[in-house]
Structure formats: C-alpha cells, structure tokens
Structure 1
C-alpha cells in the first residue's frame, strides 16, 4: 500500500542522477501536523501527509478539501475600478450601445470573452468580438485595432486578458474618443494608461489580494459585480438577472489553462467549475469533447490537456477567433463545425511543433556539447512558427531542466523574429529578457518568472545567446535545485487501485500551487515495453506483490526509454491516473522519471 517513506539520505533509493538527470527526494512532513490533520481526512495517514507537505493547517483543512464560493469569493468592490467599470458596462447595456470585447487569442482570453458574451445575451444584447492575429498584430490591442473598431461603429470596447500595459493603444483610443474598459490580470507598472476604467488585481494600487486570478476569474467577479449593481438599481431583463453560475465551467477552464495557482477562490472556481463542465451545458465544450474523444468532461486533465490545446490551436496556427466563437455559441451545429476546425488545426499544430522540436533539440545537443555549463538553451530557425515556439521551449525545458528560449522568423511570420521562453524554478526569465532589452541586446521583451517573450532581429540572435549564457552563469545553484524531483510517498504496484485514486482526489483539484502527488515504485521489473503513438512507451511494472500498467509520454527516443528497454530492475516515479475502458475502471502510472536500480 501507499506509505510515506522515511530515509536518512536526502536521495530516495540513492537516486542522485536518474535517466533524466534528476535527483529524487522525499517529502518531509511534520509528524505532529500529520496527526492533527488526520481527522480532517477520515484518519488517512497518507492524505494527512499530503496535506501537511502542501502547508495546509488544520484550521484551513475543511475549506481546502471542500472549497466553496461562499468561503472564498472576494468582494468585487475590493478591486480598484470594479464598481466604476460595472457602472459603465451596465449603462451601456441599458442604452443598447454597440460594445465590442477585445480578447487575447489564448484560452484565458477566449473563456473571458465568452463569459461576457453570454452575460450580454441574457440581457438581449449582442457583444461584438475582436481577436488580434498573432502574426500580423501580436499580443494585445494596437492603435490600428482601436481605430478599426472606432471606424466600424463600436461605442465602447472591453479588453479581456490584455490591455493593462497597452499604453500606445490606449492613448490612441483616448485621442479618437473610444472609451475602453480594461479587464486584465497581468503585471503592471505604477503608471496607469488612460482608460474609462481599468480592473486588474495586479495594479499596484489594488487591495483585493486577488493577483493570483486568471483573466477568466476576474471576469467572473466582474459579472457578479454587474448583477449586484443591477439588483441595487432594481433592474433586470424580462427573465430575471443572468444566472452566472453556469459560467463557472468557462471560468475553471481559463483558470486551469492559464496555469493560475490553485489556492483561495481559484480552488473553488475549478472544483465547482468542473462539476458544471460535466453537465455538458455548453454546446461548444461538448462538441470539442466529442471531437477529442472524451466521454465525460470532468477532470483537470480533460480541461488542461484535451480541451486546452485544441482551443489554443486557432490562435497558434489558424484563425484566432474560432475558440472565442465556439465557447460563446448556443448553436449545436455551429459548435460542431467550429470544434472540427479547431481539432484539425490542433493536428496541424502538432505536426509543426514536432518538426521544430526535432531541429531545436539538435541545436540544444550541439550547444551543450560545446559548453555543458551554458545554463540556458536557445534554439532558433527561419520559418519556425511563432504560434508553437512557446510549446517547443516548454518541451526543451522539460527535457534538459534548463531555462529555454526558442526563436523564429521568416516571410509571413511577422516583421521581426519572435522568441518565447520557459524557465525553471528560481531563475526569473522575464527579468533576464527585460534586462537584455534595456541593454539593447534585443528589440523588446519581458515576462514573468517562469515565461517570457521577446522581439529581435535575426542577426541579433548570436549576441543574445552570448549575453544570456553570461547572465545565467550566476544561477548555478538554482539550476541544480531545479533537478530535484520531490516524491510524496512510496507505492507498492499492487496497491494502486481506483479506490486509492479516488482517495487522493479528495485533496484536489491539482495544478499550479497544488501539486499532484508523485509516487515512487521501488526496484520493479519492467515487462512488455511497447511504443504507442509517435514516441510514447507503455509497459508493465511489477514486483512479487503485484503489477501496474504504466505509460511514459514522449520517452521513446530518450535516455528514459533506454533504461526502460534494457530489461533491468528500475525505480519509477509518476502520478496515478484512473481511466475507464469498456466499462472497466483501471489505474495506470503516468511516468515522470525512471532510474536504474
């Protein structure tokens, strides 16, 4: 059965360099805290330890395990400009003004715009939509986009998941007399750009304490503010005030796909939003689930890894408007057509991504062979599509456990080269890119600790590489720490059961800030290794007491695959997943790492 492991060595099973170059450590729970937490989880020592290692105290345990909006929902008025924005938008609805939502092209932007579209529809109003083209326009509003919206009759614009830092665009909107309400969540400087209202929990003067929300979460709070204001004024459409609770499926989807940390109200958004998602009330999500082959959409995995990539595909390699339209529509036939287009675009995206990843990995191997201590991976190429370079950067980071930046340029891909970076814990890649921009090494760029973007001329790539390698030399200790794989408990293969998975799910949902438990199998024999899909490996791990089916994603051509195929006994780390197949519920281990015994 699953049990917490007690070791004197900091390295579990003496794994100091696994197949992926990592060292394994064990969760170190406070035994007194474990005992105090046990009653909250029915006396389960395992669940108590998992809660303790996630810094949940007994006072928080009940609301952590059953997060509700009643416990966590913030006062909308605590957000700077929230009441002001609600007044502007409610007045516009009542006056039947022509309002357009300007949405970012990712899932968070699409879900945010769809929440607003559905809210407007409940008042009998249509909400216009504008989504910028990634290649032609880049991220966020531009002066040209606002001029276009003004010229085509928009009386008011609401930006969602963007706009907070769009100084030039908002200055232009003010100059042409186009009111703009900004609803954003990205980091901002102290100087606020002009706007009719600017709602962003990451404004420096905001006191809501909700800077962890995704844009979809901010928008959900905003429609609650609209309802509250309408109620105070004694106003409502013929069928009554809009019921915003069904919008929680969109709020949860945006929160998960934007990797917002799952604490506070975000846990309630996701827990309750997944329940609503399973009811199949949104025709667009149902159609997308159908083309993805999902029977019932009810898990974080479904939302994040099945629906999310397909919704993002339009903004990456196709029409950036499709996802927002799909999520907002109530027309079943339209939903099916849009979902099929997104599914096809996602297949195209995977092909483009795979081709670029192969080239980028070859560059990474060559660079590390020349300088094993370079501390960062930078790969670049002409014709590399800006819509997938962020995904490829993430793949490189996972493979090499180093900050990674991928850069692409070429005809039809925008006027300058675009780069996207992903980082490891402790190395702030956004700050590094911003510094390079300030020093003139690149044209522009920035981001946050774990991700960043940049623009540069192709002939600046080598100088940027040199600058980044020199800059990253100071983070040797942080890069070493990033190689740690923290294990929650040791698991006997025979103890892996659907009941155990259900038990662990009690402390979910899992995501950023609420990590899914990682279990280790000690000295198991691997049998039946076979390749599935393009480069995944499926196999059986067994010992004298039992067996468990395992899958190692994207491992066929890696050192992990070599270790699994050699027939020796191995240690395996991974996450338990339950799946239903032909009416039978089974459990498998999604492999995170392996090490020779």
Structure 2
C-alpha cells in the first residue's frame, strides 16, 4: 500500500518528535551544514537564523553575498546556449527590416499575457506593431490551431510568434507550414522527441537544448529572447547606443509571469523576480498600476501582490471572460481603456471566485471519498467550468498533499470531451506522467511540466486514465515522502521573534516555488486567546511558559482540527509551526506568526 511505502521512505527523524501533527503532517528540520551556517553568519554579518535559512537551501559561503543581493548579470544565461535562439532572433529582425506583418499568438494565462506584452512593447520601441491573438478557452481550447493560423494569415500576418504554447502543436504547425505561414515558437513546456515543423523553436525543455534553463517560465524565456534580439540588432548595426532598448523596461512583466507560473525561484528566475519586483514597485507600467489600484495594492510590490492579487485578475479574463483582456491591458497606452479593462477584470475575478467555490465543494466531496492509498486524486464533473479547474486542482493539492487533476466534462460536444487541469507536489512529475498517458493513447492531448499539466480525454476513458497515472506516480510519491514533510528552518523562542529578525529574513527572498518562505517552530506554547474572524480564519495569541506572547493568524482553518484547537484556548501545550510576517499599524511595526500547524507537546 502507498501509506506503507511513504513510511518506509521517510529518512530523517521528526522535529521535536512530531510524526503526526494536528494537520496530519510530519515535521522535520531542514538539513543545513553547520560549518556553512557559522561561516555565512560571520562573513555576511547576519543572524544565525538567516544563515541557517541560506545553508538549508544549499547556499555556500562563497555564494552567500550573491544570494543576498541577486543580480541579473550574475546568473543571466548566454542566449546562444538555447537551441534556435539566434535563428529566431535573426528571423524576427529579417521581418522587422523587411516590414513584414507580424502577430503574437499567446496563451490565455498570466505567463502568456506577460510574454506577449514584452514582445509587443519591444516591437513598439522600433516603431513596429504586431497583432495579439489569444484563443478563447471555451471555443478554441489551449494552444494554436490550423484555423487560428489561417485567421492570422487572412489578416495579413506573414510571421507568427507563439508564446507559452506551441511546442506540442504538431498538427497546427504543419498546417501553418502548408499554407506558407512562418511560425516561431517561444515556449517552456515539456515536449517529446518529435520536433514540430516550426521556422524556429525556442524551448529550454526541448530534448536537444543544452542551456540548462528548463526551470524558466515562458515570460523568462521571452526575456532572454529580447536579449538575443538586442544582440542581433547590434550585430546588424540596426541597434546603436542611441536607440538600444533597456530590457529593464520590461523586467516587471517577466517577473509577473515567472511568479504566476509557479516556477522555481532559483538562479535566473530569482534574479528576474527580485529585480522585476523593484521595477514593478514604481508602478510606471500603466496596466499594472491600474490593476494595483483596483486590487488595493499599495507600496512596494511583493510576490504576494503579484501572485494573489494582480495575477488572478489577469487570469480572470482567460478563465471566465474575454481571453485577450489581460494581454490588451498590459500593452495599451490608453489610460481610459486600461482603467476600464482593470475594472472589468476585477468584476470577472469576483465571478470566477463564485464559480470556483461551487466546483471546489463538489470536487472536494469526490476526493474525500476516494481511496487513501491512491497516488493521484482525480475529480470529474459535468459542466464544470474549464476556466477554474486549474485553481481548484491547486487548492485540493494543498489539502490532500497529493497530485490532483480536476476534469470538466462537456457532453454537449461532439464527441463528448473532458478537459482537465492538474497540480502536483514536489518530487512528482505530473507533466511527464500526462505526456506518457498521451503516448499510451489514453488522451486526446496533454502535456505540461513537473508541477502542472493539462489534458483532454474521452470521458469514458477517465477510469482507465486514473489507473495508468496511479501506477506510474506511486513510486515517485513514495520517494518524495520526506520532501512532503513540513520543513522548519529552525526553532525560535518567543523572545527571539522581533521586527529586526523579520526584516533580515526578507533578504532571503523573493519567496516562492523552489525558494520557500522560512518556517520556524515555537516550542511549548499555550493558546491564551483565539477568535474566529472572517469566514474561516482564526486570530490568536500564544504564550510561552514565561508569559511572553506572540500574536498571529491562521487562515482557512476554523473548521479543521487546527482551528478547533486554537478556538478551545486553554492550558494545553503545543508546538507551533509557521512564518514570521511584519505588520505595520499606525507607524508601529510588529511581528505576527502566520500559523500553519500545531502539534501536541508533552507537559
């Protein structure tokens, strides 16, 4: 059974003996080389807690200074290391110099919109325009099609650049070649050995690419492509010191796409994100500024603002509204239009949340009833909106700690079809499994990357598909068991939680996939106060045995064992697991604990 395999693969001892917390988790201390901790702390003049966070992420003493101050020049790859990058740059400049009409075909999510916006703004710098085409999620589905390429050609396009899609669109690209339409593909999704017939295909995940940048989002690949375009323009003498565009003008877009596509924030991704958030914080980009105002974002931009406030609103257009709204907002120079679209996206986002809640409730009921030893959980329902299934899969993945696929079935289609979206857990390659299922003939289409994937399937073959994926992913999930434990970066006392420490810990950011926000354990605490707030959040105060207090909040927990323990506030002792967050109120800074788990402590 899978549960037995999970137990067998747990390698390190539980932290404070917590093998099963109130949330059913195992805790462990993130491994860190003690010599590195001491050396980093001494050389960089930083607290031991921050040095331990860095060492726990395999940052060496030699790399510590660069980690604390991530710079593009330290991690920026050579564009020529990407297969077809120079070829693609040459084709684009050929088109610019010959004044050939161009179009950008973009996926309908944030990664696609920000990739398209970078190209459009780059072309605009040189007085060139390009049409943006974003397929309708419901009517056209994911990625390019022969019909879409024909439409673009009829509108005058002679060169089409696909962004965040196209690497697996064999039939569509063959059709484009057949009608004499040149297509350049800029993508990052996993692909098989068969190369589609594109004029150029730039994808760090193509089998013959040796750039080592497979962790980039499409927005990051596009940003590297802009560097290749600058270099090619200089080589031709078209770009000079007087007209060379600064890539930093568009790094906020690259950062937004990187954050929202949940790729690892390590290496070049972390540098793009760090520098991009600084640029974004000036709110000079019209579309982003309007979205920030609509969503209540103020001050410096953070990964939270990008990933949970701005990004979802851009996505809402592709999920439940007009698919091109996000890309239009990010490229328009018309303030009135930008404000109107930002308001429309805000309304669509509210609509999306309502639809999402209904699907989430129904899918949760299905997964709760499924076998506990399954390696993957799959929920399917008729009429489920394809625009929300990915978000629902992500929420369910967090709840069940397993890969989850949510499938919306459309039986009005001829033939009936199920469109699914999946999210995975660390160490389990869902995109690879979906690709294998496609190769085995179980899917109409499908692909993705390690942490996410999409598919189309005959509804009558869903049971067969689940069996295939379960068998394939069970060994990976078992091997990843230790990675799925809650990992603490250290143990802190209540007296050690200060604004100064919280500020120092922020230097390890930006945080996200692949660079987790530091977590700490506070041992032997009592809940001295707790109150339910909002729909299902709990505010609380913890006190240690000496009476020192720590205030905090736990989100979406009120009706769970964690929330029940908090709300029962009493003499019981608990170990607390969570993140430190700075909170400013009336000019005074304090630290809150964002609690994620509790474990019973011995008296």
TM-score w.r.t. structure 1 length?
0.93
The answer to which of 251-260 and 579-588 deviates more is 579-588
- 1:326 counterpart residue number: 329
- 1:578 counterpart residue number: 582
Q: Deviations over 1:150-190 (max 9, x none)?
A: 11211211111111121111111111011111111222223
Q: 1:165 to 1:125 in 2, by over 3 A?
A: same
Distance in 1 (alpha carbons) for counterparts of 2:145 and 2:408: 22
Q: 1:17 to 1:351 in 2, by over 3 A?
A: same
- 1:589 counterpart residue number: 593
CA contact (8 A) 1:263 1:514 kept: yes
Question: 3-state SS of the aligned residue for 1:562?
Answer: helix
Q: 1:302 to 1:412 in 2, by over 3 A?
A: farther
Q: Deviations over 1:15-67 (max 9, x none)?
A: 11112211111123222222222234315222221111111112212222212
Q: 1:243 to 1:257 in 2, by over 3 A?
A: same
Question: 3-state SS of the aligned residue for 1:59?
Answer: coil
Pair 1:181 & 2:184 matched: yes
Q: 1:581 to 1:266 in 2, by over 3 A?
A: same
- 2:276 counterpart residue number: 273
Deviation at 1:478, TM superposition (A): 3.4
Deviation at 1:456, TM superposition (A): 1.9
Distance in 2 (alpha carbons) for counterparts of 1:470 and 1:72: 39
Q: How many residues align?
A: 587
CA contact (8 A) 2:32 2:58 kept: no
Q: Deviations over 1:283-340 (max 9, x none)?
A: 1111111111111242121112221111111111111111111111222222211111
CA contact (8 A) 1:11 1:23 kept: yes
Distance in 1 (alpha carbons) for counterparts of 2:240 and 2:589: 46
CA contact (8 A) 1:122 1:237 kept: no
Q: 1:74 to 1:468 in 2, by over 3 A?
A: closer
CA contact (8 A) 1:190 1:204 kept: yes
CA contact (8 A) 1:326 1:338 kept: yes
Distance in 2 (alpha carbons) for counterparts of 1:157 and 1:471: 37
- 1:128 counterpart residue number: 131
- 1:562 counterpart residue number: 564
Q: 1:267 to 1:566 in 2, by over 3 A?
A: same
Question: 3-state SS of the aligned residue for 1:506?
Answer: helix
- 1:5 counterpart residue number: none
CA contact (8 A) 2:529 2:542 kept: no
What residue ranges of structure 2 are gaps of 5+ in the alignment?
Answer: 1-10
CA contact (8 A) 1:424 1:482 kept: no
Identify which of 8, 21, 39 aligns with 1:36: 39
Q: 1:412 to 1:289 in 2, by over 3 A?
A: farther
- 1:143 counterpart residue number: 146
Distance in 2 (alpha carbons) for counterparts of 1:340 and 1:149: 29
Distance in 2 (alpha carbons) for counterparts of 1:439 and 1:286: 47
Q: 1:229 to 1:540 in 2, by over 3 A?
A: same
CA contact (8 A) 2:190 2:431 kept: no
Deviation at 1:525, TM superposition (A): 2.1
Deviation at 1:373, TM superposition (A): 2.3
Q: 1:89 to 1:26 in 2, by over 3 A?
A: same
* Pairing 1:144-543 to 2, within 5 Å after superposition: 144-236=147-239, 240-367=243-370, 371-410=371-410, 416-469=417-470, 471=472, 474=475, 477-478=478-479, 480-481=481-482, 483-543=484-544
CA contact (8 A) 2:52 2:490 kept: no
CA contact (8 A) 2:190 2:447 kept: no
Q: 1:143 to 1:506 in 2, by over 3 A?
A: same
Deviation at 1:132, TM superposition (A): 1.0
The answer to which of 142-151 and 405-414 deviates more is 405-414
Distance in 1 (alpha carbons) for counterparts of 2:131 and 2:476: 47
CA contact (8 A) 2:442 2:465 kept: yes
Question: 3-state SS of the aligned residue for 2:580?
Answer: strand
Distance in 2 (alpha carbons) for counterparts of 1:534 and 1:214: 34
Q: Deviations over 1:60-100 (max 9, x none)?
A: 12222212122222222222222221122123223332211
Q: 1:330 to 1:546 in 2, by over 3 A?
A: farther
What residue ranges of structure 1 are gaps of 5+ in the alignment?
Answer: 1-7
Distance in 2 (alpha carbons) for counterparts of 1:325 and 1:476: 41
CA contact (8 A) 2:220 2:258 kept: yes
Distance in 1 (alpha carbons) for counterparts of 2:96 and 2:240: 11
Distance in 2 (alpha carbons) for counterparts of 1:468 and 1:265: 32
CA contact (8 A) 1:20 1:399 kept: no
Distance in 2 (alpha carbons) for counterparts of 1:165 and 1:196: 14
Q: 1:587 to 1:129 in 2, by over 3 A?
A: same
